[in-house]
Amino acid sequence: MNQYIVKAYAKINLGLDVIKKLPNGYHQVKMVMQAIDLWDELTLEKAADGIVLTTDAGELPTDENNLIYKAAKLMRDTYSLKEGVKIHLQKNIPIAAGMAGGSTDAAAAMMGINRLFSLGIPHRELMRISATIGADVPFCILGGTALAEGIGEQLTPLPPVPPCHVLVAKPDISVSTKYVYEHLDSAGIQRHPDIDGMITAIREGSLQGVLSRMENVLESVTVPAYPIIESIKENMLELGAAASLMSGSGPTVFGIFTEGAAAEYAFRRLKAEGLAKQVFLTAPLNISEELPRGSSGIS
Ligand code: ATP
């Protein structure tokens, strides 16, 4: 196989709790992660030597500061690959948005190299080594719905959430994950999201039980700094969302709709109103739907 195309799916956090700050400066989290049907596309080709990255997203680095480059280097070093790889990234996922855009590109690069070079490395092994690139990368390899603990890398797969529609809106601001965690008073969190209750609701197939527990403690930092996030959340609820929440460290907001027609109406209205620069109507993506991750190889 000389060329391989792989989709890198974005995630949202249906629930996000921070348990405590760890002595090493990281935060211990407890989150319900959900892959969604919004993706970047990576095209991988074998090359004589080295790693060459190109992208249609001019603002992104193409050197070792790009997580794709780091992932390719990790694969070459770990599995002693002699050949090089050329990767082109077509970016659709909003950048610095709380949707794990960089992490999912790294995950896709690792899975793509695994296939391109017919390495046959099991996904669980890729997940294990990928945590050195970023705590969200193992989940991006796993996909579907999962509980993430530790610093986000300890995963428990969960059953799919009941079918629903996910409206995603990113305002024209970028939020640094580092800034948000640094400004979070984790010891002072008064109300912790009911993540255990959400897991029970997922296991019972109760969408209502999931929606009523959607909370993200990072909103306490990002929303006061960027009030537009609250405006978009309120707008989504007015437009008929059953629940709305900021994803990750923000600023992306998502709304869950039970009816497709209502979701489409809200999608058009939100785009027309201009509060958010990027708006997508998408849906949860289950593991079975992802395999073989919408990929194709060209020999
Ligand atoms: P998370 O939800 O994991 O916090 P995020 O969605 O907030 O992630 P990213 O889109 O992953 O944030 O980008 C954060 C920063 O990482 C960007 O400012 C960018 O410079 C850098 N970066 C490196 N590689 C990539 C990539 N392939 N795609 C996007 N950003 C990347």
| pLDDT, tens digit, 9 for 90 and up, residues 57-96 | 999 999 999 999 999 999 999 999 999 999 999 999 999 9
Query: 111-151 pLDDT, tens per residue?
Result: 999 999 999 999 999 999 999 999 999 999 999 999 999 99
Residue 294 has pLDDT above 70, yes or no: no
- Asked about 11 being catalytic, the answer comes back as yes
Please give the pLDDT value at position 129: 97
Please give the pLDDT value at position 299: 44
The stretch 5-25 carries a mean pLDDT of: 96
Q: Which long-range contacts (CB under 8 A, 24 or more apart) does 272-278 make?
A: 273/235, 275/169, 275/171, 275/228, 275/231, 275/232, 275/235, 276/169, 276/170, 276/171, 276/172, 276/232, 277/170, 277/171, 277/172, 278/94, 278/168, 278/169, 278/170
- Of residues 296 and 103, the one with the higher pLDDT is 103
Query: 197-252 pLDDT, tens per residue?
Result: 999 999 999 999 999 999 999 999 999 999 999 999 999 999 999 999 999 999 99
Which two structure tokens, joined as six digits, stand for 108?
A: 């896709």
Mutate to test the pocket of ligand 1, among 177, 181, 249, 254 (most ligand atoms within 8 A of CB): 177
Give the rounded percent of residues in the chain with a pLDDT score beyond 90: 90
- Residue 75: name the closest of 118, 33, 34 by CA: 118
Exposure b/e, 222-249, CB count within 10 A at least 16 = b: bbeebebbebbbebbeebbbbbbbbbbb
**Residue of 70, 91, 136, 170 marked catalytic:** 136
Please give the pLDDT value at position 133: 97
Cβ of 12 closer than 6 Å to ligand 1, yes or no, is no
Residues sharing a CB contact under 8 Å with residue 289, sequence separation 6 or more, in sequence order: none
Cβ of 173 closer than 6 Å to ligand 1, yes or no, is no
CA 120 – CA 97 distance, rounded (Å): 33
CA 247 – CA 72 distance, rounded (Å): 27
